[in-house]
């Protein structure tokens, strides 16, 4: 399937203006923050800037920034494949074209809201030292701005896919391959959230994680990741349920017609026609069983296994860090 080339996100546009490969751009941004961190450490005579912010934890922001910049291209490819899959099925082609509409003003607004949220959450002015203040302010502003933009972008693209589906799609209940790109998009959104959760866990200390609050927070994040997957594919699930009901309605009409013919033949005593008239009833019954057995979810067993495996990853990381912390404590 040939993917459609259309305008990407604000992040894609910003990286394009710089004129360097995305990975190089991400590493350059992270490198600047690391240099600020090094300057901060030297300014504090090589000591970590405080007990609450260990040296290892200080690397969280650059790591998240690189992760978000790295994950954008796969997300865009998965979304484009989902759009191209719906293009073949959409009852209103204009909705497919509208899905690529760009709203840079709203994206910039989300970016600025993310920056404002970072200042409110991290309160960088509470840290002593000019270099320390500069590092926390720069790193948190970039990280939360990109996080806000990534969340907004995923939700907007999911809504546009849902709008196309609600506009009417011609679905073949037994053609599972046409639904796979839609399930892959939902899986990508979920995996993006899981990846960010795992990255956050890696940079957390045992003391931070060994609290009821952390357990509740990270449990919620795992549940949210699973919810994002099903939310992303819920509209296509409803469309498949509707297609199944339409198919069953047609089957039921044929079954009533074939049954009436058989009953009429039995009433007339035409025993030689009974066998021939029973065959359509058996065929319709077998087809009805296939329709009822057809899944109304667009994913296949492989996607389910991959999703479950990804959700286990943060649980394993959390458990491993707790186990290592307990072993060191004893």
- Predicted confidence at residue 5, as pLDDT, reads 47
- Predicted confidence at residue 209, as pLDDT, reads 82
Give residue-wise pLDDT tens across range 298-328: 888 888 888 888 888 888 988 888 888 777 7
- Predicted confidence at residue 124, as pLDDT, reads 60
Give residue-wise pLDDT tens across range 193-207: 898 889 888 888 777
* pLDDT (average), residues 184-198: 89
Other Cβ atoms within 10 Å of 146 Cβ, number: 22
pLDDT confidence band for 128 (50 / 70 / 90): low
What is the average pLDDT score of the chain? Answer: 81
Q: Are 83 and 179 in contact (CB under 8 A)?
A: no
Query: What's the 3-state SS for the chain?
Result: CCCCCCCCCHHHHHHHHHCCCHHHHHHHHHHHHHHHHHHHHHHCCCCCCCCCCCCCHHHHHHHHHHHHHHHHHHHHHHHHHHHHHHHCCECCHHHHHHCCCCCHHHHHHHHHHHHHHHHHHHCHHHCCCHHHHHHHHHHHHHHHHHHHHHHHHHHHHHHHHHHHHHCCECCCCCCHHHCHHHHHHHHHHHHHHHHHHHHHHHCCCHHHHCCHHHHHHHHHHHHHHHHHHHHHHHHHHHHHHHHHHHHHHHHHHHHHHHHHHHHHHHHHCCHHHHHHHHHHHHHHHHHHHHHHHCCCCCCCHHHHHHHHHHHHHHHHHHHHHHHHHHHHHC
% of the chain beyond a pLDDT of 90: 2
- Predicted confidence at residue 147, as pLDDT, reads 87
% of the chain beyond a pLDDT of 70: 87
- Predicted confidence at residue 109, as pLDDT, reads 92
- Predicted confidence at residue 51, as pLDDT, reads 47
Give residue-wise pLDDT tens across range 26-55: 778 777 777 777 776 676 654 445 544 466
**Given a cut of 60, is residue 115 above it in pLDDT?**
yes
Q: Are 187 and 229 in contact (CB under 8 A)?
A: yes
- Predicted confidence at residue 269, as pLDDT, reads 67
> Which residue has tokens 């920034």?
65
How far is Cα 47 from Cα 34, in angstroms, rounded to an integer?
A: 15
- Predicted confidence at residue 52, as pLDDT, reads 43
Q: What are the distances in angstroms from CA 150 to CA 11, 81, 111?
A: 9, 19, 9
Give residue-wise pLDDT tens across range 205-260: 777 788 887 888 888 888 888 888 888 888 888 888 888 898 899 889 888 888 88
- Predicted confidence at residue 53, as pLDDT, reads 45
Give residue-wise pLDDT tens across range 254-292: 888 888 887 777 777 666 676 777 788 888 888 888 888
Enter the pTM of the model. 0.77
């Amino acid at each position: 399937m040939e993917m459609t080339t259309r305008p990407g996100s604000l992040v894609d546009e910003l990286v394009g203006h710089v004129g360097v490969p995305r990975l190089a751009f991400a590493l350059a941004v992270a490198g600047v923050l690391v240099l600020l961190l090094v300057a901060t450490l030297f300014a504090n005579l090589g000591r970590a800037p405080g007990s609450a912010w260990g040296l290892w934890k200080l690397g969280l922001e650059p790591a998240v920034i690189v992760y978000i910049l790295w994950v954008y291209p796969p997300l865009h490819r998965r979304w484009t494949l989902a759009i191209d899959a719906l293009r073949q099925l959409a009852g209103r082609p204009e909705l497919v074209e509208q899905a690529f509409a760009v709203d840079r003003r709203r994206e910039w607004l989300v970016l600025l809201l993310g920056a404002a949220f970072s200042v409110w959450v991290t309160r960088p002015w509470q840290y002593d030292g000019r270099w320390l203040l500069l590092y926390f302010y720069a790193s948190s502003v970039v990280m939360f701005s990109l996080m806000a933009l990534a969340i907004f972008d995923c939700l907007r693209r999911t809504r546009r896919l849902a709008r196309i589906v609600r506009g009417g799609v011609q679905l073949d209940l037994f053609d599972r391959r046409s639904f796979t790109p839609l399930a892959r998009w939902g899986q990508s959104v979920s995996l993006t959230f899981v990846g960010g959760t795992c990255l956050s866990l890696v940079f957390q200390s045992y003391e931070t994680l060994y609290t009821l609050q952390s357990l509740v927070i990270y449990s919620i994040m795992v549940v949210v990741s699973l919810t994002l997957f099903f939310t992303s594919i819920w509209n296509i699930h409803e469309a498949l349920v509707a297609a199944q009901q339409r198919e069953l309605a047609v089957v039921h009409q044929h079954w009533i017609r074939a049954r009436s013919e058989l009953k009429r033949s039995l009433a007339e005593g035409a025993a030689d026609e009974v066998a021939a008239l029973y065959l359509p009833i058996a065929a319709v019954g077998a087809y009805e069983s296939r329709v009822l057995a057809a899944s109304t979810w667009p994913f296949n067993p492989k996607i389910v296994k991959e999703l479950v495996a990804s959700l286990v990853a943060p649980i394993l990381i959390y458990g491993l860090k707790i186990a290592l912390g307990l072993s060191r404590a004893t």
